[in-house]
Structure formats: C-alpha cells, structure tokens
Amino acid sequence: MKRQTRFSLNNKWVLITGASSGFGAAAAEAFAATGAKLLLGARRVDRLEKVAQTTLKAGAKAALFHSLDVAETASVNAFMQFARAKMKQAALHILINNAGGAHGLDTVAAGRDEDWEAMIQSNVLGVLRLTRAALPLLARDDGASIINIGSVAGRTAYAGGSVYCAAKAGELQITRALRQELLGTGIRVGTIDPGLAETEFSLVRFKGDQQKADGVYEGLNPLTAADIAETILWVASRPPHVNIDEILIKPTDQADVGKVFRRPRK
C-alpha cells in the first residue's frame, strides 16, 4: 500500500506561542511558506505585528495575532477566545508551545523567587494552560500535532540552572504524559530539545547584559532560530501515522552541556 509521504499544511491553522522573536518567529515564517494559516501569540504585540506582516509576504494564507502571556490563565483564555472567533468552525492542526525562557544563572543559595516563579510559570504551567485550552480545537485523526519546545537542560543539569533545568524536565514529562493521554485520538505529541542556539535567550537570561550574552556563543557555531524552525516544520509535516516523540538537537560544536569546542580568537 502506498503511504502518504508528508502531511500538507496548506490552509491548516497553526498556533504558535512566543511568536514575537526567536524560534517562534522563525517557525511562523517557515510555516507561512507552506501556505498555512497562522495564529500568533506573545506579550510584545508590536513585534507580533511585524512578524505577521513578514509571514504574509512569505506565503501565509492568514496571519492573525493577539497578545498572549502564558503565565496568566485569563490571558490564555482570551487568546483562545480570539482564536475560536477567527477560525470559525475550522479545526486547529498544529500547536507549537514555544513560549518560555530562562531568568538568571544563580545558584540555589542565591536564587530569587521572582526568577524561579517566572521560569515555572512560562515553561511548565504555560504549556499546561495553553494545551488544555487548545485541545478542544485540535483535529482528531487528521494529522494534528502538539509540538513542545524543550531544551537539552531538561535532560542534563548544570550549576546555576537548577530551576530552568527542572522546568524543562517538567516540559519533557508533560510531553510524555500527553503522548499517552492522547493515544487513540490521532493527535501527535512531541518535543524538540535544542542545545546552544543563538537567539534572545541569553540576553533575557542575563537581563539585558549583551556582553555576557555574546560570551555564551563566543568561538563556536551555535544553532540558529532557522535551524529549529526547519526541524519543527519537518516534525509537523510527517505523514499522519508518524509521531516524532523526541528530538535532541545540538550544534556540532556542543557535545553536551558545558562541553563545547571554541575556536581561538583571531
């Protein structure tokens, strides 16, 4: 029997959180090129508007945006109400839980409640809130996917990363649990866990300190947002009978957390 080689995303609704920059913005552009219809959410609405304009030029059949803070249940509910109204009776086919991030690189002894709470809210509770709200809209037995963005930090702990590592380990286990809970629905569930990728991630972690952020990637060739977007698109476009459970993706210059190859300065 001849099997479908890929899942067509043309005219399919794709919801992306954290779509104002980094992986989310790059994923929006990648899906736009397939002719998908985009629902974009993030806190920075001015940036969302620019991303939406870019995706329309890239081929998106629709690019709609609305403010979204996954750390607030009311914001999630308002976003999903917006999504329902715009989609009318159509189904959602792709949910990309991308919103998240790290705050600080403090030891447990020096850690601050506001940083801890921000990481748990966005990386763990945000994934749960958004998924809970989106599940009723996801197509059954029609190639739908939930794709969560994790991190190598969810698999390997490092000093100064206790809460971020815990949060991403939580995302990984949520993904695995959802995979079991949704068995039989035809909804696919997976996680993409990047290593060092040069986005705004480190700038946010170091609270705007550009020098520290640049130092993370100095001397090596890190992943880019486009690399991760291409991977997300590949996962979403597999035939409906194929579920990519987990992908761990690192730059060639990174063998593990803390084990990287840096070229000497010229």
Distance in angstroms (rounded) separating the CA atoms of residues 180 and 178 = 5
If residue 87 lies in a helix (H) or strand (E), which one and from where to where?
helix 73-87
Tell me the β-bridge partners of 194.
Answer: 249
If residue 42 lies in a helix (H) or strand (E), which one and from where to where?
strand 37-42
CA 100 to the chain's CA centroid? 8
Decide if 203 contacts 213 (C-beta within 8 A).
yes
Query: What angle separates helix 225-236 from helix 22-32, to the nearest 10 degrees?
Result: 50
Number of residues that this document lists for the chain: 266
Distance in angstroms (rounded) separating the CA atoms of residues 144 and 186 = 7
One-letter amino acid of 103: H
Tell me the β-bridge partners of 44.
Answer: none
DSSP symbols for 6-21:
S---TT-EEEEESTTS
Distance in angstroms (rounded) separating the CA atoms of residues 59 and 166 = 38
164 catalytic, yes or no? yes
Helical H segments across the chain, by residue range:
22-32, 45-58, 73-87, 113-120, 126-134, 162-181, 201-205, 210-217, 225-236
> Which among 7, 164, 201, 206 is annotated as catalytic?
164
Nearest to 53 by CA among 64, 42, 43: 64
Distance in angstroms (rounded) separating the CA atoms of residues 155 and 118 = 20
User: What amino acid positions are annotated as catalytic residues?
Assistant: 164
